[in-house]
Amino acid sequence: MNRVKFAVSPDIKVGGRHFSPADLALMAEAAGESAEIELATLQQLIVEVDEDRFVQAKDALREQGLRVYEVGMVVKILPFAISARVQK
Give me the domain span that covers residue 41. 3-87
Contacts of 53 by beta carbon, 8 Å cutoff, 6+ apart: 30, 31, 32, 35
pLDDT at residue 56, rounded to an integer: 92
Q: Looking at the 3D structure of the chain, how many domains does it have?
A: 1
pLDDT at residue 71, rounded to an integer: 83
pLDDT beneath 50: ranges in the chain = 82, 84, 86
Instruction: Give the whole-angstrom CA distance, residue 2 versus residue 50.
Output: 6
Residue 73 belongs to domain with CATH number: 3.30.70.2380
pLDDT at residue 74, rounded to an integer: 57
Contacts of 8 by beta carbon, 8 Å cutoff, 6+ apart: 27, 44, 45, 46, 47, 61, 66, 67, 68, 69
Burial class (CB in 10 A: 0-12, 13-18, 19+), 37: middle
